[in-house]
């Protein structure tokens, strides 16, 4: 397993093959990932803990909520951003292997 610290929390890559990748993401309270899309990568998300906020635009006030036990799919070229409200969020992401395929549209961190 490979833990990678991020400005919004951390991720743990727990499976990586030529056909799929499995990650656990931990998003700290009041943090969010970049607004992004993937050109090839397809992913399925399962919320383990907390209330996941999901944006599909850069409007901070327009997001969907997914609670513990929710699952959804993100397809190639679908704009998305994940975040946490007042409580930490843990989620599982299982995706196709193109993990370097990210196109960032905006990011709250300058790193």
Per the domain annotation, does 105 fall within a domain?
Answer: no
CATH of the domain at 38: 2.60.120.10
Compute the half-sphere exposure of residue 32: CA atoms within 13 Å on the CB side of its CA: 24
Structural domain count of the chain: 1
Per the domain annotation, does 64 fall within a domain?
Answer: yes
Per the domain annotation, does 104 fall within a domain?
Answer: no
Per the domain annotation, does 111 fall within a domain?
Answer: no
What does the pLDDT look like over 56-73, one tens digit per residue?
A: 998 989 999 999 999 999
pLDDT at 108 over 70: yes
Per the domain annotation, does 94 fall within a domain?
Answer: yes
- Can you give the residue range of the structural domain that contains 69? 2-99
What 3-state class would DSSP assign to 54? strand
Average pLDDT, the chain: 95
């Amino acid at each position: 397993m490979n833990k990678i610290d991020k400005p919004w929390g951390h991720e743990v890559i727990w499976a990586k093959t030529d056909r799929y990748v499995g990650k656990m993401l931990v998003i700290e309270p009041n943090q969010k990932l970049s607004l992004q899309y993937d050109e090839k990568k397809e992913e399925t998300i399962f919320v383990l803990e907390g209330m996941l906020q999901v944006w599909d635009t850069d409007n901070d006030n327009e997001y969907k909520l997914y609670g513990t036990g929710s699952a959804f799919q993100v397809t190639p070229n679908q704009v998305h951003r994940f975040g946490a409200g007042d409580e930490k969020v843990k989620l599982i992401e299982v995706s196709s292997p193109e993990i370097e395929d990210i196109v960032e549209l905006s990011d709250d961190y300058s790193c």
